[in-house]
Structure formats: C-alpha cells, structure tokens
Amino acid sequence: MTITGIITAILIGVVIGVLGRMVAPGKQNISVLVTILVGIVAAFVGTALARAMGIPTSTKGIDWLELLVQVIVAAVGVALVSALMGRRKSGLLRR
C-alpha cells in the first residue's frame, strides 16, 4: 500500500467511524477521537474482509459493497468499544 493509499484510508476511516457510530444502536459513551480511531481500524479490517469475501476493492468508482462492509465493521467496533469503556469507572480515554 502506498502512502497515498494509507492517507486515503485514514480519511475514509474518519467517515466510516462516524457512520458506524450513527448505525450502532444506543448511546455510545466514547469520545470522538476513539470513534475516529475505531473507524480507521474498521477501514483497514473492512477492506481485508471484503477482499477475503471476493468483493472487488480496486475499481475505478466507489466500491459500495466494500464501503458497506467497512461501515458494518465500524458499527460493531463502536458498539464493542463503547460497551467495554462503559464498564470502566475511570480510564485514559473516558470523559
């Protein structure tokens, strides 16, 4: 992956994190920074999952199925991180 691909993945990850937070049910008790980090990880993991499932990930247009996989991964990630951080009384990333 080139540096342009990494920067693009990070920018897409920000959007994916926000979309994942909107799709995840309930109230999330995590910060925006954590949401963005979950989105960045979801962008990379979602692309890997899409490739493993045989979904084309390098087309000339927008890869809607890959984007859908990334948003689903982000929603699950946001829900998991929110549940884990909600149980803790204090922590570095908790407000």
User: CB of 43 within 8 A of CB of 15?
Assistant: no
- Each residue's pLDDT, cut to its tens digit, for the chain (95 residues) gives 678 877 877 888 888 888 888 888 777 788 888 888 888 898 889 889 988 999 887 778 778 888 888 889 988 988 888 888 866 555 555 55
Closest CA to 39 of 61, 3, 65, 71: 71
CA distance 20 to 24: 6
pTM (2 d.p.): 0.75
- CA–CA separation, 58 vs 60, rounded Å? 7
Q: Read off the DSSP letter of residue 90.
A: S
